Chain A
Amino acid sequence: MHVGDTISVIASFGVPYRIRPVRFRWSGRLFEVKEVTYTWRAREGQREIYHFSVSDGRALYELTFDTGSLLWTVENLEA
């Protein structure tokens, strides 16, 4: 379980720019997203990277969704 790992995510895609991670599986463990505290987009060349700061009630995770690779990653963790 490392920061930088790619993860499986269940997310809802709502009105424009309202992607909301609902739960994610990281190294076999399931995490329920209790709060999405902030979302922002950044650009890496032509690829857009969506960032989600989410809390499961115990820790704060920064998840990213890369629109180029369609991969979700745990970018940061604050326990």
Chain B
Amino acid sequence: MSRIILCVDMDAFFASVEQQVNPRLRGKPVAVIGSSNRTVIVTRSYEARKFGVKTGMTVGEAKRLCPGLVFVVGDNEKYTHTCAELEKIHCRFTPEVEIYSVDEAFLDVTTTHHLFGGPGSIGCAVKAAVKEQFGINCTVGIGPNILIAKLVSDISKPDGLRWVRDDEVPALLEDLPVEELWGIASGTRRRLEALGIRTCGELGRAPVSLLRNKFGIIGETLKLMGLGLCNRSLLVRPEDPKSIGHSWTLPQDVSDRKRIEAYLLQLSEMVGRRARKYRFIGRRVTLTIRYPDFETFAKQATLPQHTNATHDIYESVLQTLDSIRLKDRVRLLGVSLSELVRDPDQMSLVRDKVREQALHSAMDAINDRFGDFKITWGAYLSQIEVPSVIAPAWKPSGVRNVHIRNKRQHVKT
């Protein structure tokens, strides 16, 4: 039986939310930015896109292209709440829902669409419910797999609804540039172009041996993509994470060792707390450093045993830091814990470890009850802010549900 997948993609999500919140922003070019003074454009409204404003541009670049652009500091609590509520809307129509990112979800309605008048009716109902509850628009693409559903959603924006059935896929793909396909970035596009392949139709007809020679094991996947085939299932239940990490672009470039240590302690606590919350322990600790010229490197260390204790993670990154000669000031720091396994809650026989576990439990309980960072390590009390950037991969449940605090900011014009 052919599957029927809906891709529900919010249109200019953060910018649309801000335009809905503030009626004076409606119809105006709006760019959502971060709160730090080194921020870039996170997303922009469709009015801003007409001026060529793109995600990732600096505020200055965007302002030059669109002098009337209104900058709004993003408010992650609005977006994460909306994402969690959107999931409830999706689950009215099927239990098979994959929240792919904060603004995008896939619904497998293969076995439920007949209850709601068909896939098109579900698409209409989702759009209407989103509009009614939040006042914002989304685009729904419907196809026989997630590759086609995502493609149809992308080419139907904004505020679109389109269903491409199995037998319509070849015609849709024939003249479509390969980079329109989900997962084909500019590097792959250039390498395909070198083979004389520019459209999905050409990709689907290309000999698999040619693609395998050029791209190795993914050559066959590329061929299938060119034919519009994709057998990836929806990830309805979150998989166990491979790593838990946090990174932070610092407010200013830093060279002072004490300040770097304070940031690393804070990041170690964030990683340790999230690992403890979701009951994972890990054995590999990675320190990531980015210099002002954007050169970035990561160095790993393997611990003698699995842990989620803040100080084990912190001591490991300090040792790694000691082994590095910093060539410049530091722009970004990151800490992650990997080689994760489920925490078996093994009671330690070492008295110091027992006390450390009790300390973490007490701190976590206080912060669970009163809010993050209500009780914290004295060494970073001098820190004036905590990271507040939402990852696109944020999800309303599971280990990717990271509580992001807001910094109160007013609209900048």
Chain A residues with CB under 8 Å of chain B are: 35, 37-38, 40-47, 51, 53, 55, 60, 75-76, 78
Contacts and interface: CB of A to CB of B under 8 A. Distances in A.
B159 to A, nearest CB: 19
Contacts of B21: 37-38, 53, 60
Interface string B13-48: 000010011111000000000000000000000000
Given A44-B370, A44-B371, A53-B21, 13 more contacts: A35-B23, A38-B20, A40-B77, A43-B403, A45-B367, A45-B371, A45-B374, A60-B21, A60-B23, A75-B408, A76-B410, A78-B410, A78-B411
A40 B78 contact: yes
B395 to A, nearest CB: 16
Interface of B: 17, 20-24, 77-78, 81-82, 134-135, 367-371, 374, 403, 406, 408, 410-411
Contacts of A55: 23
Contacts of B410: 76, 78
Contacts of B20: 37-38
- The dominant DSSP class at the B interface is helix
A78 B73 CA distance: 14
Contacts of A60: 21-24
B103 to A, nearest CB: 15
Nearest to A53: B21
Contacts of A45: 367-371, 374
Contacts of B78: 38, 40, 51
B369 A46 contact: yes
B81 to A, nearest CB: 4
Contacts of B24: 60
A36 to B, nearest CB: 10
29 contacts: A35-B23, A38-B17, A38-B78, A38-B134, A40-B77, A40-B78, A40-B81, A40-B82, A42-B77, A42-B81, A45-B367, A45-B368, A45-B369, A45-B370, A45-B371, A45-B374, A46-B368, A46-B369, A46-B370, A47-B371, A51-B78, A53-B22, A60-B21, A60-B22, A60-B24, A75-B408, A76-B408, A78-B22, A78-B410
Contacts of A43: 371, 403
Nearest to A46: B369
A21 to B, nearest CB: 15
Contacts of A41: 81
Contacts of B411: 78
Contacts of A76: 408, 410
B21 to A, nearest CB: 4
Nearest to A49: B77
B77 A51 contact: yes
Contacts of A38: 17, 20-21, 78, 134-135
* Top 5 A-B pairs, shortest CB-CB distance: A40-B81, A45-B371, A42-B77, A45-B370, A44-B371
Nearest to B403: A43
Contacts of A40: 77-78, 81-82
Contacts of B22: 37, 53, 60, 78
B214 to A, nearest CB: 48
A40 B78 CA distance: 6
Contacts of B134: 38
A46 B374 CA distance: 12
A42 B404 CA distance: 10
A37 B406 CA distance: 19
From A42, A46, A78, residue with most partner B Cβ within 10 Å: A42
Contacts of B23: 35, 37, 55, 60
Nearest to A40: B81
B132 to A, nearest CB: 12
Contacts of A46: 368-370
B289 to A, nearest CB: 32
Contacts of A37: 20-23, 135
